Amino acid sequence: MSDSAAADVERANALSERALASWPRSPIVHYAKGQALRAERRYAEAIPEYEAVLASNRNWGFAYYALGQCKTYTGSIEETIPLVEQAIRLSPRDSNLGVFYNTMGRAHLLRSRTDEAITCLERARDYMPAHPMTRALLAAAYGLRNETERAAAELAEARRLSADDRFSSVARLRASQSWGVPTIRALFEATYFAGLRLAGMPEE
């Protein structure tokens, strides 16, 4: 969120390495390291950090969520939903519930469980109506269910709420971030991007 995000995350990684050298068993330090790695989308490297957190503290809700997100992008998507469900059980009034439901909805969408995806993503939208990615995921899910008017409305909201033009075309959105390992990228193509085309997103 800062004007120097890359430098900030690099410093966070360096500080977490120093902390790990002094407190190698500290779950807080492993959590900080996992967060820094996840911010850099180094999901495979973040997984053992969150696992170390949970080995010390089985009640850390956000660590379950973060681990679930990492599992999605590294290809173990079948593990995502149970992990995020555990986060919700442990912290049912968490301020991050919108993000939790967003992650579960995305996992359902990628596995072509469109109805389940919509249920989760509508809940995510209720918790955080100004989150453009949730709106785009909902647009794709509605598109896949042939609810074209609702899909187009959610896509329009994603564009309005976004700080950049990533939702203006499939090409721009595809270039906006890493979409995980090849198997997961293929699932995004078959579900998310396919649904957004049905919602009215142009190719270029």
CB atoms within 10 A of CB 111: 16
Query: Taking the CB of residue 170, how many other CB atoms lie within 10 A of it?
Result: 18
pLDDT reading at 1 higher than 80: no
Q: What is the pLDDT of residue 6?
A: 86
Residues 81 and 107 in one domain: no
Looking at 34, 67, 92, the residue that finishes a domain is 92
Domain CATH number, residue 65:
1.25.40.10
Residue 2 pLDDT level (bands cut at 50, 70, 90): confident
Average pLDDT across the chain, whole number: 96
Residues 71, 103, single domain; the answer is: no
The alpha-carbon radius of gyration of the chain (Å, integer) is 17
Same structural domain, 116 and 99: yes
What is the mean pLDDT of the segment spanning 166-190? 97
Query: Which tens digits make up the pLDDT trace of 18-48?
Result: 999 999 999 999 999 999 999 999 999 999 9
Is residue 67 domain-shared with residue 136, that is, in the same domain? no
Please give the pLDDT value at position 13: 87
Asked whether residue 72 falls in the same domain as residue 123, the answer is: no
Residues 107, 60, single domain; the answer is no
Among 63, 92, 121, identify where a domain stops. Answer: 92
pLDDT per position as a tens digit, 186-200:
999 999 999 999 999
Measure the CA–CA gap between 164 and 133, rounded to whole angstroms: 12
Do 200 and 117 fall within a single domain? yes
**Residues 102 and 174 both lie in one domain:** yes
Cα 161 to chain centroid distance, Å, stands at 17
If asked whether residues 60 and 110 sit together in one domain, one would say: no
> What's residue 182's pLDDT?
97
For 75, the 3-state DSSP assignment is coil
Provide the pLDDT for residue 3.
87
Domain that holds residue 138: 95-204
23 lies in the same domain as 37: yes
Say yes or no: 7 and 78 in one domain: yes
Clarify whether residues 21 and 61 are in a common domain: yes
Of 92, 107, 139, the one marking the end of a domain is 92
Minimal CA–CA distance to 94: which of 54, 59, 70? 59
Note every long-range contact of 169-178, with CB atoms under 8 Å and residues 24 or more positions apart, other chains counting: 169/201, 169/202, 169/203, 169/204, 170/196, 170/197, 170/201, 170/202, 170/203, 170/204, 171/203, 171/204, 173/136, 173/201, 177/41, 178/41, 178/73
Tell me how far apart the alpha carbons of residues 193 and 186 are, in angstroms, rounded to a whole number.
10
- Read off the pLDDT of residues 77-100 as tens digits, 9 standing for 90 and up: 999 999 999 999 999 999 999 999
The values of phi and psi at residue 75, to 5°, are 105, -5
Quote the number of domains for the chain. 2
